[in-house]
């Protein structure tokens, strides 16, 4: 069965890791028909008048599933984030970022298996900022009952569907009593009313961060509002080998966009040194999603083939530079393809 998927290579290291991912998927036996669309600086380079062209949004709406490379957002001034705009436009409210210890990547801990679930549409990412007067600015943190309940329900449902035991909400409701207070109230209420089979607890984010680096295995699913989820997922990725290995997915009720946690890495772009594993692993998440959506069981085998290939390659020392190896982006993809059975 062929599956239509929108491919957005992005900019910076995006096109390199997207090409590697496309080749690895082709070798896995997954039959994907890629519909290529652009966003970010790559869209402007191709003559679009906006970083998020309507043709890109329309394609995701039509086909339902996309694999996306990173898009640069300028710091300070310039255009606002393509990534945030895409998530809001398509109402991709639930970000899922699984962080697992990976065979062949040596880190301080060997037993990490955490999923960070991040609210993707509001909080401080609402983009509502004001210059009150010279030298005084405000950024508005927005929390709505609807979005807080929705992400809590999403996290507990995810836990139940994956046989996970516990959801821990990270918050700062001691200081942000209203916004984080609402986030916690919703999580508590949804848990009590609908998900008694799952354990639930709450950690203040500062102490939670300390616990994460000291003893990460105490966490199962971490539920966060937008900004906390952004920061905590990068922290967690550092526990398992860094941004080069951590996948992600953004889910709404109708569409799903799969993308790595990392950004466009302008410091290494265009040099064939980026690790494509984070996007490859995001594509592995995508294969499960497509399999569940369409009933195409062969995608589960493709997924296992890719996982086995990168597990074996990494264990054999076939790694990119960020993991202490010597392979380039293309050569790492070649190594996985050579190990595909
Ligand atoms: P970054 O994730 O791009 O890079 C941080 C560090 O990690 C850099 O040293 C980079 O070389 C390294 N790194 C990242 N991915 C790697 C990979 N696959 N292989 C090897 N090394 C890797 O974060 P940074 O520098 O904060 O952001 C750069 C740009 O990316 C910014 O414009 C930012 O807004 C954007 N960004 C986009 C995201 C997206 O499209 N979803 C997510 C995060 C940032």
**Selected catalytic residue, list 93, 125, 158, 310:** 125
The SS3 of residue 44 is helix
Minimum CA distance residue for ligand 1 atom 37: 263
Q: Work out which ligand 1 atom sits closest to the CA atom of 248.
A: 41
Share of the chain above pLDDT 90, in %: 96
Q: Is 206 a catalytic residue?
A: yes
Q: Is 322 a catalytic residue?
A: no
CA angle 81, 21, 56 (to 5 degrees): 40
* Interval 84-142: pLDDT, tens: 899 999 999 999 999 999 999 999 999 999 999 999 999 999 889 999 999 999 999 99
Q: Domains in the chain and their CATH numbers?
A: 1-92+245-341 (3.40.718.10), 108-239 (3.40.718.10)
Q: Work out which ligand 1 atom sits closest to the CA atom of 13.
A: 18
Share of the chain above pLDDT 70, in %: 100
Q: Are 247 and 282 in contact (CB under 8 A)?
A: yes
262 C-alpha vs ligand 1 centroid, how far in Å? 5
Predicted confidence at residue 77, as pLDDT, reads 78
237 C-alpha vs ligand 1 centroid, how far in Å? 12
Q: Is 172 a catalytic residue?
A: yes
Q: 252-290 burial, b for 16+ CB within 10 Å, e for fewer?
A: beebbbbbbbbbbbeebbeeebbbbbbbbbbbbbbbebb
172 C-alpha vs ligand 1 centroid, how far in Å? 26
With a cut of 50, which residues of the chain have pLDDT below it? Answer: none
């Amino acid at each position: 069965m062929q599956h239509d998927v929108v491919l957005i290579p992005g900019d910076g290291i995006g096109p390199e890791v997207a090409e590697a991912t496309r080749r690895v998927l082709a070798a896995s036996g997954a039959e994907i028909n890629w519909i290529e669309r652009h966003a970010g600086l790559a869209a402007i380079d191709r003559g679009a008048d906006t970083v998020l062209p309507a043709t890109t949004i329309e394609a995701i709406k039509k086909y339902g599933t996309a694999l996306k490379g990173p898009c640069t957002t300028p710091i300070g001034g310039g255009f606002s984030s393509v990534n945030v705009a895409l998530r809001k436009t398509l109402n991709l409210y639930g970000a899922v970022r699984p962080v697992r210890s990976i065979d062949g990547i040596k880190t301080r801990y060997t037993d990490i298996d955490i999923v960070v679930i991040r609210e993707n549409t509001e909080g401080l990412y609402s983009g509502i900022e004001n210059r009150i007067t010279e030298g005084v600015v405000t950024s508005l943190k927005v929390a709505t009952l609807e979005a807080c309940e929705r992400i809590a329900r999403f996290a507990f449902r995810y836990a139940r569907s994956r046989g996970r035991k516990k959801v821990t909400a990270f918050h700062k409701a001691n200081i942000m009593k209203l916004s984080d207070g609402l986030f916690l109230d919703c999580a508590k209420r949804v848990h009590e009313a609908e998900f008694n089979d799952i354990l639930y607890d709450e950690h203040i984010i500062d102490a939670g961060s300390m616990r994460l680096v000291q003893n990460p295995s105490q966490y199962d699913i971490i539920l966060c509002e937008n900004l906390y989820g952004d920061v905590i997922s990068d922290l967690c990725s550092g526990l398992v080998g860094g941004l080069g290995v951590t996948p992600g997915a953004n889910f709404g009720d109708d569409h799903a966009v799969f993308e790595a946690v990392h950004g466009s890495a302008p410091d290494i772009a265009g040099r064939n040194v980026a690790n494509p594993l984070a996007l490859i692993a995001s594509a592995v998440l995508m294969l499960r999603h497509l399999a569940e959506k369409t009933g195409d069981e062969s995608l589960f085998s493709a997924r296992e083939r890719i996982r086995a290939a990168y597990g074996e390659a990494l264990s054999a020392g076939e790694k990119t530079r960020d993991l202490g190896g010597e392979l380039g982006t293309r050569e790492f993809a070649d190594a996985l393809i050579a190990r595909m059975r």
